[in-house]
Amino acid sequence: MSRPQTPQTVEKTPPAADKKPNSPGKQQSTIQTFLLLITVFLCMFLVGLDRTIVSTVGEQLTSTLTLHHLMLILSGQAIPQITNDFNSLSDVGWYGSAYLLTCCAFQLLFGKVYAFYSVKYTYIASLLVFAASSALSGAAPNSVSFIVGRAIAGVGAAGMFAGTTMSVVYTVPLAKRPRIQGIMGAVGGLSSILGPLIGGAFTSKVTWRWCFYINLPICGVAMVSIFLFLNIPDRDTTKLPAAQKLSQLDAPGTTFLVPAVVSLLLALQWGGQTYAWSNARIIALLTLFGVLFIGFLAVQALLPKTATIPPHILKQRSIAAASWITICVGSAQYIYLGVEPVQSGIRLLPLVMAFSIAAIMGGFINQKIGYYTALAIIGSCIMSIGAGLLTTLHVDTSNGKWIGYQILCGFGMGLCFQTPNLATQTVLPKKEVPMGIALMFFGQLLGAAIFVSVGENVLSNQLLQRLSGVPGFDVSLVTSDGATALIGSVPPDQEGTVLVAYNDSLRKVFQIGLILSCLSVLGTVSLEWKNILKQPEAPKPEAPRPEASVSAEKSEAAEEKKIGQTV
């Protein structure tokens, strides 16, 4: 069905705005696109690496491993423990949470920034922030400066998350994006496994500081490459006056959202571990989150034209379903079966390799058939079966079984991994895609933080229930030391009891992964059946801004056809 023509609106578009002689992006050659994609993959690898590379560093420096590493967590939940150099054991929780706090809190803001400012220069600025923070973390003389560096790194990573996808959106046509996003997923998965291994190598051979210094030359190469090879024409939104663009960044909403997210994540970080859930600090943080989040929702409803998440986007069926999928799949992405970061990485190889292979396969299949919904449903069902089998693991389970179960679960994850981003790019107008993509990343990060905390507390509570009557059992070991110390704290004749209790407790945590996997099926079956090969014209937003030009919407299909010749 064709959309009514509005020629009189097109005539109002200033001709000079569309004929700017120095506008970038008029000639995006094949070699430029190829080199840009290599850079995008490198940046994706860098972000994934940074989230996990320091997990082994903590083990090397402290020779202790908390139970955080033994349960269901999002890929890259880094918990660095660089305490020997700084003599600051009490700060160890901040080393990981500072990065996660800022990365999650600023994710939606970057969605607005990419919508109204240059993708190229926003991406370069994010890389610059990330590089500067890496230098600060690497050269940190004390714990406080290290934490500040990690917090700033989270801001840069938030911009890099969205920037990698936006670079692909504006240089590769929709019909050819699935295979690119499949490779991006595989790169991200592999980086989460290689991170602890590379971190261990740096720590044992050189120093843990090189875990951060290594980012500097990589960021430098990436910035030069993006400057040279990312050519995107000026958009109507980027041509707005500076004051008008600033007004679109939703300062009131951001003022509520950032402290709300920080309050929630702090409560999840401390609750049940540092402080009891009934502690006044935790209650105050959760209350503050509730008040601030309600304020954020009110701003979005009362000021829809400048909202961080325009209400009409959330009302779109596929966006709501995609958000549900990304929370469920992202929160259940990894299961750690080992007792040390390096060993965990090795034991997770079946899951991650299956995930990576399936992500690439899924990209090529989606690009061939055009319909991403079918593969999403199949993938979520396979993931649920694999997650269910993982809950049956016992102390004496054979290697063949736990490897096979991981392969099944990882393969299902890989098949449905790219669905939320593809759905977002298909159903939204291109100028709203940055906000939609940021929403997906935000849901993934926030969901992970929530369910990591749930998993931690389930594991701790289950261990306390099962081991409280064991002779020699020290309650403090549940949250302060690892499995080896826990087993070593009891008499030899009780070690078998501890192992069984530990296994049963982990199975309870794995059941969370099963629940999340099954819930993801609800999201996949709710997706609309859209064909990316037909490249349907994106619908108009329900609440268009007066300054938006209709000419950009009409030329969008032509732009897709033009850049399709270069890929």
C-alpha dihedral sign at 523, 529, 535, 536 = negative
Q: Which of 210, 202, 190, 215 is nearest to 59 (CA)?
A: 202
CA distance 68 to 79: 8
Kindly state the DSSP code that residue 72 receives in the 8-state scheme. Answer: E
In a domain, 256, yes or no: no
For residue 465, pLDDT over 70 is answered with yes
**How many distinct structural domains can be found in the chain?**
1
| Residues 6 or more apart whose Cβ sits within 8 Å of residue 266 | 97, 101, 285
Stretch 231-249: mean pLDDT: 87
In a domain, 452, yes or no: yes
pLDDT at 219: 94
C-alpha dihedral sign at 123, 126, 132, 137 = negative
Q: What is the DSSP string of 446-463?
A: HHHHHHHHHHHHHHHHHH
pLDDT at 490: 66
Local confidence band at 271 (pLDDT 50, 70, 90 cut-offs): confident
Query: Of the given ranges (250-264, 277-291, 481-495), which has the lowest mean pLDDT?
Result: 481-495
CA distance 374 to 501: 40
In a domain, 232, yes or no: yes
pLDDT at 95: 72
Rg of the chain on CA atoms, in Å: 24
For residue 54, pLDDT over 70 is answered with no
In a domain, 356, yes or no: yes
For residue 542, pLDDT over 70 is answered with no
Cβ atoms 383, 520 nearer than 8 A: yes
**3-state DSSP helix/strand/coil percent for the chain, to nearest 5?**
75, 0, 25
CA distance 166 to 180: 12
Query: Of the given ranges (59-68, 301-310, 486-495), which has the lowest mean pLDDT?
Result: 59-68
For residue 228, pLDDT over 50 is answered with yes
In a domain, 20, yes or no: no
- The total number of residues written for the chain in this structure: 567
pLDDT at 140: 87
CATH of the domain at 245: 1.20.1250.20
Choose between 373 and 277: higher pLDDT.
Answer: 373
And the tokens for 128?
């610059």
Domain that residue 521 falls in: 28-250+303-543
| pLDDT mean across residues, the chain | 78
For residue 448, pLDDT over 90 is answered with no
In a domain, 371, yes or no: yes
Cβ atoms 356, 186 nearer than 8 A: yes
pLDDT at 55: 53
Write b or e for each residue in 114-149: b if 16 or more Cβ atoms lie within 10 A of its Cβ, otherwise e: bbbbbbbebbbbbbebbbbbbbbbbebeebeebbbb
Q: What is the DSSP string of 219-236?
A: HHHHHHHHHHH------T
pLDDT at 81: 46
Q: Which amino acid is at 212?
A: F
**pLDDT > 70: percent of the chain:** 75
pLDDT at 408: 94
In a domain, 178, yes or no: yes
pLDDT at 82: 63
Stretch 433-440: mean pLDDT: 92
Adjacent-strand bridge partners of 73: 334
Local confidence band at 84 (pLDDT 50, 70, 90 cut-offs): low
For residue 243, pLDDT over 80 is answered with yes
Stretch 200-219: mean pLDDT: 82
Give me the half-sphere count of Cα atoms (radius 13 Å) on the Cβ side of residue 273: 22
Stretch 182-192: mean pLDDT: 86
CA distance 527 to 403: 31
In a domain, 264, yes or no: no
Cβ atoms 429, 553 nearer than 8 A: yes
Cβ atoms 364, 182 nearer than 8 A: yes
CA distance 346 to 335: 12
pLDDT at 501: 82
Adjacent-strand bridge partners of 334: 73
List phi, psi (to 5°) of 96: -90, -40
3-state secondary structure of 371: strand
Cβ atoms 344, 148 nearer than 8 A: no
For residue 356, pLDDT over 50 is answered with yes
0.85 cut: is pTM over it?
no
Count other C-beta atoms under 10 Å from residue 162's C-beta. 28
pLDDT at 482: 52
